Chains A and B, each alone.
Chain A
């Protein structure tokens, strides 16, 4: 049995919900059971937005992730708030260009990714989230280029198809780190 509980968190506007959607969609297209639950409180309007994603071989029970296997922190308040909740042996991916401290826990695997900086340098400044998604999939051993592209084709609506290429580039960049 395999269940991955993923918690993504960051400022509103960083693409947290979309990154979660990408992970959920990819799971669904591989016939896994998935759920995606956004925070919809006042934090959406200026503070920290978060999103719970579960990808599992089993039916998903509660869609709320309180102890993630994978934490994605795109800003410092997110890491401060959720670092302790990660299960021992879990993974923490964080945007090291925005989070100015290392992960304190020694019983988790930390992946500092300067995602915002890399996104800016590579001409897709709004896609730091997708660099992280690429890295996560690669670290989980699930970065299959064809499957990732298939998923993107589903997640990105046809009227925004011109965004697919840049998203793919960002994810590949993340996966190659």
Chain B
């Protein structure tokens, strides 16, 4: 294993993307993710890559569309308001079945909101990134090491399934430094026979397009896309269980909320409360099965979120409301304290 170094989460994403073979980055600065762009600006020219600060977030996502059409690994990153601007492009990428990696280092909203950490783009990421029927694979790291690992994984999944993979992080994960090993296991990118690489008069034209004016044809495309989504739901779900073996209360939390929750769980265990955690790593596809299983034995589930309660809907759907599911949250850039989570756990124990 290579030597560990201290690195910011945002930088870890950029470094991992380069390791994964990404040589094209397009972005527009916004706190708290600007270090991704800054790192790319420094590194890309040295390795023959392209860093381009676009004139807007909308331009950046359309540049991603262009490069992806040629079969190259490509990414963009932004934070909440900037991701909203990219919504149209995300829908077009989905419609054209193009792979891309998009990073959202979330900040408080709605509107311009604030610049402090948030998880309030969960709905946007898992349900409504843009118009039309589509999903993105949504990956939720909770450490700097995972910021890097899931970036590599994101490129692989995007290529495999020809769709956008999104890293859904938050300001804390982007800004914090932790020890990280840059030893990545990178699988070679799959062949992309659909890419527009020039026919050299040796093959028929490839066309990358999201416009289908015949409804029968568009419906067929959407059905096929959802067949692929079902494969992803069967094969690509990732989650972590913590102290769930004997748990009577289950915490549901992802990203930074899962780390705060871990402190609270450790403290609750000291007080003799049997509490564990299911941490979704893929938010779409959502880890439904572990929550269904948990609902058979726990008496309540506590969803800890930096939002007004967004993931809680997926938790309720997953466990079919077989047990009470309650919310413990802070919003607007605030982060729940371990004490707040501990109190919510203790309240459920009563």
In contact, A61 and B262 (Cβ under 8 angstroms): yes
Residue from B115, B172, B335 having most chain A Cβ neighbours under 10 A: B172
Which A residues lie within 8 Å of B115 (CB)? 40-41
In contact, B337 and A66 (Cβ under 8 angstroms): yes
How many Å from the CB of A45 to the closest CB on chain B? 11
How many Å from the CB of A102 to the closest CB on chain B? 29
Nearest A residue to B339 via CB reads: A66
Residue from B4, B177, B266 having most chain A Cβ neighbours under 10 A: B177
Which A residues lie within 8 Å of B116 (CB)? 41
Which A residues lie within 8 Å of B31 (CB)? 40
Is the C-beta of A12 less than 8 angstroms from some C-beta in chain B?
A: no
> A35: which of B32, B171, B177, B260 is its contact (CB, 8 Å)?
B177
In contact, B172 and A64 (Cβ under 8 angstroms): yes
For B, the interface residue count at a CB cutoff of 8 angstroms equals: 22
In contact, B260 and A64 (Cβ under 8 angstroms): yes
Q: Please judge, given known A-B contacts A24-B6, A61-B260, A63-B259, whether A35 and B338 are in contact too, CB under 8 Å.
A: no
> How many Å lie between the Cα of A28 and that of B177 in the bound state?
11
Q: Please judge, given known A-B contacts A24-B6, A61-B338, whether A37 and B260 are in contact too, CB under 8 Å.
A: no
Is the C-beta of B175 less than 8 angstroms from some C-beta in chain A?
A: yes
In contact, B176 and A28 (Cβ under 8 angstroms): no
> How many Å lie between the Cα of A21 and that of B7 in the bound state?
10
Nearest B residue to A34 via CB reads: B179
Which A residues lie within 8 Å of B178 (CB)? 34-36, 60, 63
> A62: which of B171, B175, B263 is its contact (CB, 8 Å)?
B263
Which B residues lie within 8 Å of A59 (CB)? 262
> How many Å lie between the Cα of A64 and that of B256 in the bound state?
10
The main secondary structure of chain B at its interface with chain A is mixed
In contact, B337 and A28 (Cβ under 8 angstroms): no
> How many Å lie between the Cα of A115 and that of B12 in the bound state?
34
Which B residues lie within 8 Å of A38 (CB)? 175-176
Which B residues lie within 8 Å of A66 (CB)? 337
User: Which chain B residues (327-344) contact chain A, with CB distance < 8 Å?
Assistant: 335, 337-338
> How many Å lie between the Cα of A66 and that of B336 in the bound state?
11
> How many Å lie between the Cα of A28 and that of B259 in the bound state?
19
Is the C-beta of A94 less than 8 angstroms from some C-beta in chain B?
A: no
Is the C-beta of A11 less than 8 angstroms from some C-beta in chain B?
A: no
Bitwise, A16-46 to B at CB < 8 A (1) or not (0) is 0000010011001000011111101100000
Bitwise, B168-188 to A at CB < 8 A (1) or not (0) is 000110011111000000000
> A37: which of B176, B179, B263 is its contact (CB, 8 Å)?
B176
How many Å from the CB of B144 to the closest CB on chain A? 8
How many Å from the CB of B315 to the closest CB on chain A? 21
Between-chain CB contacts (< 8 Å), 13 pairs: A24-B6, A28-B4, A28-B179, A35-B176, A35-B177, A36-B178, A37-B172, A40-B31, A40-B175, A60-B178, A62-B260, A63-B178, A64-B172
Chain A residues packing against B (C-beta within 8 Å): 21, 24-25, 28, 33-38, 40-41, 59-64, 66
Chain B residues packing against A (C-beta within 8 Å): 4, 6, 31-32, 115-116, 171-172, 175-179, 256, 259-260, 262-263, 266, 335, 337-338
A-B interface, 8 closest residue pairs, ranked by CB to CB distance from nearest: A61-B263, A36-B177, A61-B262, A37-B176, A62-B260, A28-B179, A62-B259, A63-B176
